[in-house]
């Protein structure tokens, strides 16, 4: 196969994959593009929760409606899981998971305008949030 054709076919393959797979380990601006459903150049809480909900469903490999430490794949420490697990069953329901998403969103929203910019996504708090929104191999 000619090199150029291989490049084009490879690009088409990754373009056809879910954005989070094709865009793993990308820049904050690429992450913003993935999450910015309304294309306003920012990520709001509703967009973050939608992405978090979709990732929760993808990670819930046994489809029991909860995530345990194995399913979370290092996205949260045991301490963070325990802190977000009010019933202390060592799993997170979708509501518990999305509560952590909201908490991390607020931590990343440094100017408190309810939207995350590329600059806010590029912070340590933004990175902690992105691990709960975008599917990629963590750690």
pLDDT level of residue 14 (50, 70, 90 thresholds):
very low
Asked whether residue 11 is assigned to any structural domain, the reply reads no
Asked whether residue 38 is assigned to any structural domain, the reply reads yes
* CA 42 from centroid of its chain's CA atoms: 15
Asked whether residue 28 is assigned to any structural domain, the reply reads yes
3-state secondary structure of 67: strand
pLDDT tens string 63-88: 999 999 999 999 999 999 999 999 99
49-84 burial: b if 16+ Cβ within 10 Å, else e: bbbbeebbeebbeeeeebbbeebbeebbeeebbeeb
Percent residues over pLDDT 90 in the chain: 77
Give 83's contacts (C-beta < 8 A, 6+ positions apart).
none
Ranked by mean pLDDT, which of 28-32, 92-96, 132-136 comes out on top? 92-96
Kindly report the pTM of this predicted structure.
0.79
Query: For the domain that residue 70 is a member of, what is the CATH number?
Result: 1.10.238
Segment 89-118 shows an average pLDDT of 97
Asked whether residue 44 is assigned to any structural domain, the reply reads yes
For residue 124, with 0-12 CB atoms within 10 Å meaning exposed, 13-18 middle and 19 or more buried, which class applies? exposed
Question: Does residue 105 register a pLDDT over 60?
Answer: yes
Asked whether residue 9 is assigned to any structural domain, the reply reads no
Domain hosting 125: range is 19-130
Asked whether residue 46 is assigned to any structural domain, the reply reads yes
Asked whether residue 88 is assigned to any structural domain, the reply reads yes
- Number of folded domains that form the chain: 1
Asked whether residue 61 is assigned to any structural domain, the reply reads yes
């Amino acid at each position: 196969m000619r090199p150029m054709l291989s490049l084009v076919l490879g690009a088409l393959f990754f373009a056809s994959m879910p954005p989070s797979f094709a865009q793993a380990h990308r820049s904050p601006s690429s992450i913003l593009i993935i999450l910015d459903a309304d294309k306003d150049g920012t990520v709001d809480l509703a967009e973050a929760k939608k992405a978090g909900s979709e990732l929760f469903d993808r990670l819930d490999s046994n489809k029991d409606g909860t995530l345990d430490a194995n399913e979370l794949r290092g996205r949260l420490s045991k301490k963070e899981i325990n802190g977000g697990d009010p019933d202390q069953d060592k799993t997170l329901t979708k509501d518990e998971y999305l509560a952590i998403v909201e908490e991390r969103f607020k931590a990343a929203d440094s100017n408190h305008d309810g939207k995350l910019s590329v600059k806010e996504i590029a912070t340590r708090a933004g990175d902690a949030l992105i691990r709960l929104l975008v599917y990629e191999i963590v750690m």
